[in-house]
A and B are shown apart, each in its own frame.
Chain A
Amino acid sequence: GESVGLHLPTLSVQEGDNSIINCAYSNSASDYFIWYKQESGKGPQFIIDIRSNMDKRQGQRVTVLLNKTVKHLSLQIAATQPGDSAVYFCAENIPTGFQKLVFGTGTRLLVSP
């Protein structure tokens, strides 16, 4: 069922390292951002979100940083584990009447034991 992300940028890390995955978003009016994890053959799974009035938000082993000046979002994963291997992508909410979500293409994270 693997048909996603055949030509994605890849980040390779060792187990236990910290990982940083970056995302450039497109619209300066975007007011809400989400990070998703997608494992092979599965649907995107919510990881963490952040509103545009925040610069940083922490979850369990994950931190999202938002830099609105340069329209940049990053996901930091602490003590990366083999189970973190997946495609990660960000989404931005553009506050039109429809509240449109625009998704990035993603980064593949490979974690070696």
Chain B
Amino acid sequence: NAGVTQTPKFQVLKTGQSMTLQCAQDMNHNSMYWYRQDPGMGLRLIYYSASEGTTDKGEVPNGYNVSRLNKREFSLRLESAAPSQTSVYFCASRKDRISGNTIYFGEGSWLTVV
């Protein structure tokens, strides 16, 4: 049981380039999330998908887009990368949006935009 798997682990982009972070979970969870983590700050929600077929903005959505491809997969796209998007990105999943359900994280994707 792999849990939440995200790729790539590391990526360096030039300003203006685009890329997609891939995420898949094998826990049959309904809800999936993308967070970013910056030094000295807690995890901040970029986008989430409460269930297959729906996506919504989180706290810091600007500069990102997402696709819930199916129940397992939730991708995050940077259309035109900026240095401010240098961060560690975590995909996460949760059984559903009921309080009491733990959220599980992937191992992270380290993105540097130069």
- Residues in chain B within 8 A of chain A (CB atoms): 4, 9-10, 37-43, 45, 48, 50, 56, 87-88, 90, 97-100, 102-108, 110
Q: How far is the CB of A3 from chain B (nearest CB, A)?
A: 6
Size of the A side of the interface (Cβ < 8 Å), in residues, is 32
Q: How far is the CB of B112 from chain A (nearest CB, A)?
A: 9
Would you call the interface of chain A mostly helix, strand, loop, or mixed?
Answer: loop
Residue A42 is within 8 A (CB to CB) of chain B in the complex: yes
A33 CA / B4 CA spacing, docked (Å):
21
Q: Given the known A-B contacts A1-B110, A42-B108, A43-B105, are A7 and B97 also in contact in the complex, defined by CB atoms under 8 Å?
A: no
**Shortest Cβ distance from A90 into B: residue:** B42
Interface string of A79-113 (1 = CB under 8 A from B): 00000000001010101001111111110000000
Other CB < 8 Å A-B pairs besides A49-B100, A91-B103, A95-B99, 13 of them?
A1-B10, A3-B38, A4-B39, A7-B39, A7-B40, A32-B99, A43-B106, A43-B107, A49-B102, A51-B100, A89-B42, A98-B50, A98-B56
